[in-house]
Structure formats: structure tokens, C-alpha cells
Amino acid sequence: MLKGGSMAIFEKGGRWYVDYYADGHRRRECVGTSRAQAKRALESRKGEIAQGKFKLKKTFKKVSFKAFCDEYVDYARNTKKSWRRDVTSIKNLLKDFG
């Protein structure tokens, strides 16, 4: 069921998203490049939830700590001035968590 009845659409970076709660979990989905697409998608989700047809898909895949760190370092290098400090911290964490 809906948690707090909160459902919305929003735009970020030229893409439109739907934001809603289903089965007690908050979901955000990128649905296209137009507000109209987002409105249709949100109405569709509302209908699926009301009819009990909506099922959360497990889309998470396991990622090793090292792979996560490698991806984060790539992100940090391109977006943070303090990325060198992050690299040092991650090296120390990898000693313990591998």
C-alpha cells in the first residue's frame, strides 16, 4: 500500500522521474524525457498498486567492496577537489575489507 500517499513526478538533467511508495519502499524510476510520459507512468503505478499487481523487482546485484571503491574513485576524481584524500582513505579501508 501507499506510505503516506506520497507520489510525485520530477525532472532532473533533462529526464523525468516518478517517485512513489510501494510495499513500504520508496521507489524512483526514470521514465523518459517528457512530463507527459512521467504523468502516464505515475498513473500506471498508482493503478498497479491499488490493484495489488505491483511487485518490487530486485534489481540489486552484488558488488565487491573493491569494485565499489574503484567506481567511487573514478567519480571523486571528476567531481571533488579532495579526491586524493579519498584515495588514501580507501586504501586504508581496503586493507581491512579487501
Least confident residue range of 4-8, 26-30, 44-48: 4-8
The C-alpha atoms of residue 79 and residue 68 are separated, in whole angstroms, by 16
Please give the model's pTM, rounded to 2 decimal places: 0.50
Question: Average pLDDT of 84-89?
Answer: 95
Query: What is the pLDDT, as a whole number, of residue 62?
Result: 84
Query: What is the pLDDT, as a whole number, of residue 90?
Result: 94
The DSSP symbol for 51 reads T
The C-alpha atoms of residue 81 and residue 96 are separated, in whole angstroms, by 26
